[in-house]
Amino acid sequence: MIYFNIYIKSKLDIDQMAHAIKLILNCNDFNQTKSQTDQKRFGLNNGGIYYLFEILGLEIALIENYGEVLVDRFLDYKFYLVCNELETVNEELFGSVILYISELLKKRKFVNIVEKM
């Protein structure tokens, strides 16, 4: 299974960044999956507080890039989005959706880099 990370430069805190992501992606205030309806979550494997969004058949986790979940090669990027498919689709199409999200972020002045994992 492939997934993508989108590394984001920002001076916002995680709650403000989550709000920005929700506005940019026109995301609901809750997820559809019954076990994951709350978007603000806590998980040690995700560095503490993180957000989980479900939109367009994707699961997108907003994670702060520090501590145990720090990605060293992206030290200048405060956050990253881990983007997974909830429904398996054509890999090229999935990649195009991720690039579209990246472009939407750039239009809102969030410098970012996409990495295929």
| Three-state SS sequence of the chain | CCCEEEEECCCCCHHHHHHHHHHHHCCCCCCCCHHHCCCEEEEHHHCEEEEEEEECCEEEEEEECCHHHCCHHHCCCCEEEEEEECCCCCHHHHHHHHHHHHHHHHHCCCCEEEEEC
Say if 36 falls within a structural domain: no
What is this structure's pTM?
0.94
Say if 19 falls within a structural domain: yes
62-113 per-position pLDDT tens digit: 999 999 999 999 999 999 999 999 888 888 999 999 999 999 999 999 999 9
Q: Which residue range(s) make up the domain with 54?
A: 4-28+42-116
Number of domains in the chain: 1
39-63 per-position pLDDT tens digit: 999 998 899 999 999 998 899 999 9
